[in-house]
Amino acid sequence: MCLTTGRFRAGVSARSLQTQVRAQPEQKTPPTVPGSEDELPPWVRREKERELAAKDGAAGGLPWGLCLLFSVFTAIAAVGSIFELVDGNAIFGVIQPDSPLWAPILLLFGVTGIPTAGYLFIKGVNGFNEEAERQDKLDGYL
């Protein structure tokens, strides 16, 4: 059978085509150096990476997603504290503006909240970039 036209040619059977296809030499992969990471299957390399990440992650602190989430919460609380200080509203309806603790509490939240939110944001973005680079290495892009 001719592959381009789909017609059978005289003297050539489907069985002879199968033997011709099988008779072609297989392409061999280049030999690997013993002890290199290339000789390990991808799923074994991924398992080793996960084990290393678990060891590093135990001492690393917060995951990058939580850092980003907490940076948003902290920024909202800091800006809200500044607005409460300017408007003269009670803190959560509990501590009234005539209390001596009212201004120091709002100032503490407002002044320390913005830098803390910035630090958590930068830590979260850096953690995401490291994770993306690690995943690219596992997938073979780097």
86 lies in some domain:
yes
State the pLDDT at residue 75: 97
State the pLDDT at residue 51: 81
Structural domain total, the chain: 1
State the Cα–Cα distance between residues 37 and 33, nearest whole angstrom. 9
103 lies in some domain:
yes
DSSP state of 37: G
The structure's pTM equals: 0.59
State the Cα–Cα distance between residues 119 and 116, nearest whole angstrom. 5
106 lies in some domain:
yes
23 lies in some domain:
no
* pLDDT tens for the 142 residues of the chain, in order: 555 566 555 555 555 555 555 555 555 555 555 555 556 787 787 788 778 777 765 556 789 999 999 999 999 999 999 999 999 888 888 889 999 999 999 999 999 999 999 999 999 999 999 989 988 887 777 6
99 lies in some domain:
yes
State the pLDDT at residue 12: 55
Q: Nearest CA to 139 among 16, 43, 4?
A: 43
21 lies in some domain:
no
126 lies in some domain:
yes
* Domain extent at residue 95: 62-142
8 lies in some domain:
no
State the Cα–Cα distance between residues 27 and 8, nearest whole angstrom. 29
Cα 30 from chain centroid (whole Å): 32
State the Cα–Cα distance between residues 80 and 89, nearest whole angstrom. 11
State the pLDDT at residue 93: 81
The answer to whether 127 and 67 have CB atoms below 8 angstroms apart is yes
